[in-house]
């Protein structure tokens, strides 16, 4: 299919008679309720179920392999290729399906708060609540911006449209297919709205490096003195929780770009995990779940109150809400150059220290490693903690090679005065099942000390496992807690577990053979 033909057909679809164009939040809530897509909670948020899929489907994600992408995409298990012909068949199937619906919903907006790097997007959805989700997560245009809006990327989201693997070249009936040549994302066979969010993030991870912008899977906030902090981390490490700090202003909770001007949020909203959510622990997130917000797979009690402790549907319960719902959020969400970077890991083995200062080489090593751990019960077949490595703390969303993004980080660390810390929000005193989870209040104390510069004046001790530099004498933090080995009842058991974890780090890093020897050796002094 030629690009001009596709664009003409796409324009006809977007402006079809069945389209409700740029509906307001109240209209989308009413549409969702009248179509029985969800129900209102006691706080006014829309509660929905995502059906069979309560998380992303990474095995069903594809990129069209063509002249644009054949030499630029890091092909493999994460970035699976699909042919232009297969894309064309799926495109026609999705278009035909959406044209036959009595109503479809179109949102026009942006990805990227910095106007110099902003990507105009449009999202067509079969469900009203999916369009509401898009309005919460992406950047809504002003009236003037809307009147001049020309989409450069389109998402067509049709959960009821299913692929035929025999005909369409897919693994299953579910598909998330991106064509960088046609500037179109097709999503079908799944109701999980996070696929939209991450599809556009993946697009930005491909497009921004062309503009010399470093795209990052991180949250960001800013202090009263204008100091900017970035928090990298995989799901469950505390990225959203720790960036939503009452003492600082939130820039964004998940996706950012780092340009020569500074940083900017790619999104206009937040998508927070809310299992175990309480107002005491996470007041900003708790209070943001009001009218217009979307709650996914959260069980409600008879009074319509969300039961955030109930994981009957999934542990991956989520809340989508606009940045405007966060008290003192930075709007527009742009800021100056960062001064502190925090790599978050939830180490279920109880080996890593709760905070450590990293050299540039160690920062590059841990960025490429992207370590955290999966816990027993989070996935079928996992009966004990498992080390998990996701390059650049976001491998599923990186179309290009991880080494490409690591080079961008290295260039930023050379150009800017940035301190980098590794923070373990996982276990202390032993592994999962023996030790305890690091208290959130203690983690906040350590991070506040890092952000304020308080740690600069403290001596550090280099621990012998990974060669990490541990600050000494952090106010309010018990000294022994800073040294994991001292918190274990049996130091010999700690040594054994630490050696096992180091071995897993080294085995994972084998795929990055060829990086500078100083980076490879930064994983630790143990031979």
3-35+57-211 CATH fold: Phosphoenolpyruvate Carboxykinase; domain 1 (3.40.449)
C-alpha span between 207 and 385 (Å, rounded)? 36
Does pTM top 0.85 for this prediction?
yes
C-alpha span between 259 and 262 (Å, rounded)? 5
pLDDT (0 to 100) of residue 375: 63
What residues does each domain of the chain span? 3-35+57-211, 339-490
pLDDT (0 to 100) of residue 236: 82
Measured torsion, CA atoms of residues 478, 479, 482, 487, in degrees rounded to the nearest 10: -80
Residue 338 near residue 229 (C-beta atoms within 8 A): yes
Task: Tell me 439's DSSP state.
Answer: P
pLDDT (0 to 100) of residue 17: 95
Q: Which residues pair with 217 in a beta bridge?
A: 255
pLDDT (0 to 100) of residue 384: 61
Number of Cα atoms under 13 Å in the Cβ half of residue 74: 18
Tokens of 466: 């990974």
Q: Which residues pair with 319 in a beta bridge?
A: 272, 295
CATH for 339-490 (3.30.230.10, 3.90.228.20, 1.10.1060.10, 1.10.3720.10): 3.90.228.20
Q: Where is 451: in which H helix or E strand?
A: helix 440-452
C-alpha span between 347 and 435 (Å, rounded)? 11
* pLDDT of the chain, 527 residues: tens digit per residue: 447 778 889 999 999 999 999 999 999 999 999 999 999 999 999 999 999 999 999 999 999 999 999 999 999 999 999 999 999 999 999 999 999 999 999 999 999 999 999 999 999 999 999 999 999 999 999 999 999 999 999 999 999 999 999 999 999 999 999 999 999 999 999 999 999 999 999 999 999 999 999 999 999 999 999 999 999 999 889 898 899 888 999 999 999 999 999 999 999 999 999 999 999 988 999 999 999 999 999 999 999 999 999 999 998 999 999 999 999 999 999 999 999 999 999 999 999 999 999 999 999 999 999 999 876 444 444 456 788 999 999 999 999 999 999 999 999 999 999 999 999 999 999 999 999 999 999 999 999 999 999 999 999 999 999 999 999 999 999 889 999 999 999 999 999 999 999 999 999 999 998 888 889 888 875 44
Task: Tell me 66's DSSP state.
Answer: S
Tokens of 160: 């009821």
CA 281 from centre of chain:
21
Is beta strand 469-471 parallel, antiparallel or unpaired with respect to 460-462? antiparallel
| 171 φ/ψ angles, rounded to the nearest 5 degrees | -80, -35
Does residue 116 have a cis bond before it (omega within 30 degrees)? no
Given the structure tokens 């590794």, which residue do they identify? 422
The residues annotated as belonging to the active site are 56, 198, 217, 235, 239-240, 254, 318
């Amino acid at each position: 299919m030629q690009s001009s033909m596709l664009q003409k057909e796409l324009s006809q679809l977007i402006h079809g008679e069945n389209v409700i164009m740029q509906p307001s939040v109240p209209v989308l809530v009413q549409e969702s309720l009248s179509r029985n897509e969800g129900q209102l909670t006691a706080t006014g948020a829309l509660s929905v179920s995502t059906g069979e899929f309560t998380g992303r489907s990474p095995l069903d994600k594809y990129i069209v392999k063509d002249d644009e992408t054949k030499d630029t995409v890091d092909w493999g298990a994460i970035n699976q290729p699909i042919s232009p012909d297969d894309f064309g068949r799926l495109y026609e199937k999705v278009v035909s399906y959406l044209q036959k619906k009595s109503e479809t919903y179109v949102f026009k907006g942006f990805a990227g708060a910095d106007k110099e790097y902003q990507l105009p997007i449009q999202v067509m959805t079969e469900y009203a609540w999916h369009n509401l989700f898009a309005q919460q997560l992406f950047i809504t245009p002003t009236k003037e911006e809307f009147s001049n809006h020309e989409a450069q990327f389109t998402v067509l989201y049709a959960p009821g449209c299913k692929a035929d693997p025999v005909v369409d070249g897919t693994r299953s009936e579910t598909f998330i297919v991106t064509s960088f040549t046609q500037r179109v994302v097709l999503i079908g066979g799944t109701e999980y709205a996070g696929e939209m969010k991450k599809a556009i993030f993946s697009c930005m991870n491909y497009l921004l490096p062309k503009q010399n912008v470093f795209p990052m899977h991180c949250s960001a906030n800013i202090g009263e003195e204008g100091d900017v902090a970035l928090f990298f981390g995989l799901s469950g490490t505390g990225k959203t929780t720790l960036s939503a700090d009452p003492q600082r202003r939130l820039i964004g909770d998940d996706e950012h770009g780092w340009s020569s001007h500074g940083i900017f949020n790619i999104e206009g909203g937040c998508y927070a995990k809310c299992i175990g959510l309480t107002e005491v622990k996470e007041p900003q997130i708790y209070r943001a779940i009001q009218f217009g917000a979307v709650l996914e797979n959260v069980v409600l009690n008879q009074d319509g109150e969300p039961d955030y402790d109930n994981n009957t549907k999934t542990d991956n319960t989520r809340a989508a809400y606009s940045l405007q719902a966060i008290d003192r959020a930075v709007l527009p969400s742009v800021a100056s150059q960062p001064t502190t970077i925090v790599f978050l890991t939830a180490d279920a083995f109880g080996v890593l220290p709760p905070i450590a200062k990293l050299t540039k080489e160690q920062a590059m090593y841990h960025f490429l490693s992207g370590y955290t751990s999966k816990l027993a019960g989070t996935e079928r077949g996992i009966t004990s903690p498992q080390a998990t490595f996701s390059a650049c703390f976001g491998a599923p969303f990186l179309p290009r090679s991880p080494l490409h993004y690591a080079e961008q980080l290295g260039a930023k660390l050379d150009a800017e005065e940035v301190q980098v810390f590794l923070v373990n929000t996982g276990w202390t005193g032993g592994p999962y099942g023996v030790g305890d989870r690091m208290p959130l209040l203690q983690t906040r104390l350590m991070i506040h000390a890092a952000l304020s510069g308080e740690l600069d004046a403290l001596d550090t001790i280099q621990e012998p496992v990974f060669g990490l530099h541990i600050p000494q004498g952090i106010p309010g933090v018990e000294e022994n807690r800073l040294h994991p080995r001292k918190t274990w009842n049996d130091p010999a058991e700690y040594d054994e577990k630490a050696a096992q974890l180091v071995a897993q780090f080294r085995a994972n890093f084998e795929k990055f053979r060829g990086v500078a020897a100083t980076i490879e050796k930064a994983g630790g002094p143990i031979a």
